[in-house]
Structure 1
Amino acid sequence: MRIAIDMDEVIADPLKKFIKLYHRDYGVPLDTLIDPGNEIYHHVPEHVNRKWFDYINEKGFFRDLELIEGSVEALKKLQEQHDVYIVSAAMEFRNSLEDKLDWLAEHFPFISWQNIVFCGNKIIDADVLIDDRIKNFNKFKGRTLLFSSPHNLLITDYERVDTWQQVLDKLYLQG
């Protein structure tokens, strides 16, 4: 199988970094328990809710994100039997390209640069797409796995996975 995997909120955790930066800049800790169905910027005062976009457009924001638990081990296992591709809509954030490439090289050195796709729209040919954003499933013809993130917890129309172990279970047990 050819498996396409999103980066942000699937293998990398930008939410934790935003919370840390927001606390640094405003002295206000954000609760890491975010209401289901809301984006993180819904949890900050309106006059600073665009700060999220300032942070993600800064050079270096994507370079030191924390890993989503279990992602490295799961991708190694998937790669043993499948073609694994990282597919990120990185073109939306110009400064993210180098950061994301360096981050992937550090944490996923077993994924070849030839299997990394930085794009705008995720119009890709794969058997499976694992993503946290349903907009990326719109024209996808294969199997979709919605990786849980606070913003998508109220969405029920897609096959959902909460952890990387669940991804492995679904792909290996259900084929």
Structure 2
Amino acid sequence: MDEVIADFLVAQRDWYRKHHGYNWVDAELAGRQAEDLAERLHVEAMEAHLHEGAFFRDLPVMTGAQSAIRRLQDVFDVFIVTAAMEYPLCCEAKYLWLKDHFPFISPLNVVFCGDKGIVAADYLLDDNLRFLRAFRGTGVMFTAPHNLHADWTPRVSGWAEAEAFFHAKAGRSVG
């Protein structure tokens, strides 16, 4: 969910800027997480804020995610899988966020888990190498600044590429 359909990084960067004055440019984040660049006390404050859960309620939607997923549902059984148990109090916020931004996804197609390796599916589109490695199907890396240097194939950059990738797997063209 985060950094695939929800733009966690934009919100995180904004929080660090507002609360601690950081103003990172994309090049500084290439291959790194925000916590690699911030002072330890600031990272701990961010972690505490994430554990409160509300942060996840107002994340921006990743460009193109809504329309692409809507079209992909015509071909695939689409499930939203999120490792919410890292921040258990985020579950309600994430669920309400999904209802607001992806009302066409059934609540029965939403999975809150800790380890995405438990998911039995053909594909997992994710930004996190740890979850892709644990997944038994085909893991597709969704490019994000923190994973720019990760060696993983297949990889897609943005929702237009993701949609084209999955339509090609289904033997269909985008459009």
- Normalised by the length of structure 2, the TM-score is 0.90
Distance in 1 separating the partners of 2:19 and 2:37? 15
Contact 2:56 2:90 in 1 (8 A): yes
Equivalent residue in structure 2 for 1:159, among 144, 154, 166:
154
Question: How big is the shift at 1:126?
Answer: 0.5
Q: Match for 2:19: what amino acid?
A: D
SS of structure 2 residue aligned to 1:10:
coil
Richer in strand (by share)? 1
Deviation per residue, 1:110-161 (Å, 9 max, x gap)? 0000000000111111111000011112232221110011111101232111
**Equivalent residue for 1:108?**
102
Structure number with the bigger relative contact order (C-alpha 8 A, sep ≥ 6) is 1
**Equivalent residue for 1:68?**
62
* Runs of at least 5 residues in structure 2 that lack an aligned partner in the other structure: 171-175
Question: How big is the shift at 1:32?
Answer: 4.3
RMSD: 1.5
**Equivalent residue for 1:41?**
35
Greater shift in the superposed pair: 30-39 or 85-94: 30-39
Richer in helix (by share)? 2
* Runs of at least 5 residues in structure 1 that lack an aligned partner in the other structure: 1-6
Contact 1:18 1:55 in 2 (8 A): no
Map 1:19-168 onto structure 2 (within 5 A).
19-122=13-116, 123-168=118-163
Question: How big is the shift at 1:33?
Answer: 4.1
Question: How big is the shift at 1:9?
Answer: 0.4
% of aligned pairs identical? 36
